[in-house]
């Protein structure tokens, strides 16, 4: 019954998204659909609400998203974003190449809603080339921001997977690297379609460094293992204090519709966890004699699709998965499961970056999924191959 409820909920979410064009509302419709099938007691709603909105992690995400908007608005209003784009344009004169590099740099930072960090810069850069549509810009920004999630060691999810697989982080990174490189390579071939031309000059490099020092500070501090949310918040506030029009920038950074969407995403995640969906669904699949390999594929994918958060997909599925396989195949199994967890997250309508950047570029969810289908499939196939050969 739980598996049926999950699929009905996902179907209701996708249909309502198509017609209502409102992700926040679609999330609540999905919750109602799942609740109707599972006969969820009303008290669970209150418990999910109180659990999620009284935990520190929710407020860290809220502060991170606000800080990202604050940093982005300050970059724009101060003219530093324009100078950054100008410098990138001088060093990489092909706009399609430039708009793939900007989010790839930001992809080194594991932060919620990080695609919004690069979105304004990508949008402005894309407007210099009439052949780049808003959909091109959105998809390129989203894909190259998240290709790093397959293998970049700063992402918490891959650290968790390495721990559960009882292997070193280095081994896990090396194991996932082929899938990540496939994501980048195929994405570049399909989305950029241009040979990169580089024109280095001292003036352009100086302009690049001076206009991006807040971003560089954030990247360096995160690499040094400092809390990402705190670093972004401090850097964005310090950066704002060095500029004019502080009050105007602050007002423009308060995106209330976005904050409501984030709250809805967290409520949905809490509802899924407190309903016992991961445990019940996995038990149902096993009781139906579904092959273990399908459980290893389906469970992390569904959890990724339903939560839109890689750490959540891993945390909800891996404790069960590691108990289903012998230790000698745990490493290869973890690579397969993590590949599908990331795949589920990347096409999840509740993934913050999907929600925020779709809204920002005014591009539909279905259009985005169609455009990333081939590079996502390529990375997934490589992940399967790695599972088979290890």
Q: What is the pLDDT of residues 323-350, one digit of tens each?
A: 677 888 889 999 999 999 999 999 998 8
Is 76 or 381 the better-scoring residue by pLDDT?
A: 381
pLDDT for residue 254: 83
pLDDT at 111 over 70: no
Residues 98-120 have a mean pLDDT of 77
pLDDT for residue 377: 97
**pLDDT band with cut points at 50, 70 and 90 for residue 312:** confident
- Does the pTM surpass 0.75? The reply is no
pLDDT for residue 373: 96
- Cα dihedral sign for 283, 287, 290, 293? positive
Average pLDDT over the chain, rounded to an integer: 84
**pLDDT band with cut points at 50, 70 and 90 for residue 112:** low
pLDDT for residue 110: 64
Over residues 222-277, the pLDDT tens digits come to 667 777 678 888 988 998 898 888 888 888 888 787 788 778 777 877 887 788 87
pLDDT at 186 over 80: yes
pLDDT for residue 306: 81
Q: Are 356 and 316 in contact (CB under 8 A)?
A: no
Q: Are 222 and 154 in contact (CB under 8 A)?
A: yes
Instruction: Give the integer Cα–Cα distance in Å for 118 and 99.
Output: 9
Please calculate the CA angle 335-336-342 and round it to the nearest 5 degrees.
85
Task: Name the residue with tokens 């549509």.
Answer: 133
pLDDT at 287 over 80: yes
Residues 29-44 have a mean pLDDT of 88
Over residues 40-61, the pLDDT tens digits come to 888 888 888 888 778 787 787 7
Residue 328 has which token pair?
A: 């000698």
* Structural domains in the chain (count): 1
- Domain hosting 360: range is 2-389
pLDDT at 109 over 70: no
């Amino acid at each position: 019954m739980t598996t049926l409820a999950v699929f009905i909920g996902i179907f209701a979410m996708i249909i309502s998204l198509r017609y209502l064009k409102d992700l926040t509302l679609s999330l609540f419709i999905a919750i109602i659909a799942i609740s109707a099938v599972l006969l969820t007691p009303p008290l669970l709603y209150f418990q999910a609400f109180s659990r999620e909105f009284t935990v520190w992690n929710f407020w860290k995400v809220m502060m991170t998203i606000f800080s990202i908007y604050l940093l982005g608005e300050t970059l724009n209003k101060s003219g530093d974003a324009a100078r950054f784009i100008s410098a990138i344009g001088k060093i990489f004169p092909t706009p399609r190449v430039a708009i793939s590099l900007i989010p790839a740099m930001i992809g080194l930072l594991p932060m919620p809603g990080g695609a919004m960090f690069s979105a304004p810069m990508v949008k402005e850069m894309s407007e210099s080339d009439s052949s780049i549509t808003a959909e091109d810009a959105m998809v390129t920004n989203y894909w190259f921001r998240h290709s790093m999630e397959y293998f970049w060691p700063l992402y918490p999810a891959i650290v968790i997977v390495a721990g559960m697989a009882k292997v070193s982080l280095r081994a896990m990174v090396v194991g996932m690297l082929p899938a990540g490189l496939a994501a980048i390579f195929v994405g570049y071939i399909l989305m950029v379609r241009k040979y990169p031309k580089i024109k280095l000059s001292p003036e352009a490099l100086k302009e690049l460094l001076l206009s991006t020092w807040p971003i560089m500070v954030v990247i360096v501090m995160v690499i040094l293992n400092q809390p990402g949310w705190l670093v972004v918040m401090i850097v964005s506030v310090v950066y704002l204090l060095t500029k004019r029009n502080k009050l105007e920038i602050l007002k423009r950074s308060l995106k209330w519709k976005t904050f409501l969407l984030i709250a809805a995403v967290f409520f949905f995640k809490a509802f899924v966890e407190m309903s016992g969906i991961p445990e019940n669904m996995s038990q149902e699949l096993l009781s139906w004699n579904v092959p273990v390999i399908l459980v290893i594929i389906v469970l992390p994918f569904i959890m990724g699709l339903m939560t839109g958060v890689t750490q959540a997909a891993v945390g909800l599925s891996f404790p069960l998965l590691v108990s289903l396989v012998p230790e000698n195949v745990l490493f290869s199994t973890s690579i397969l499961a993590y590949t599908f967890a990331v795949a589920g997250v990347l096409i999840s309508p509740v993934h913050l970056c999907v929600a925020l950047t779709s809204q920002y570029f005014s591009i539909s969810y279905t259009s985005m999924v169609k455009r990333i289908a081939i590079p996502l499939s390529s990375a997934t196939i490589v992940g399967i191959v790695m599972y088979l050969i290890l």
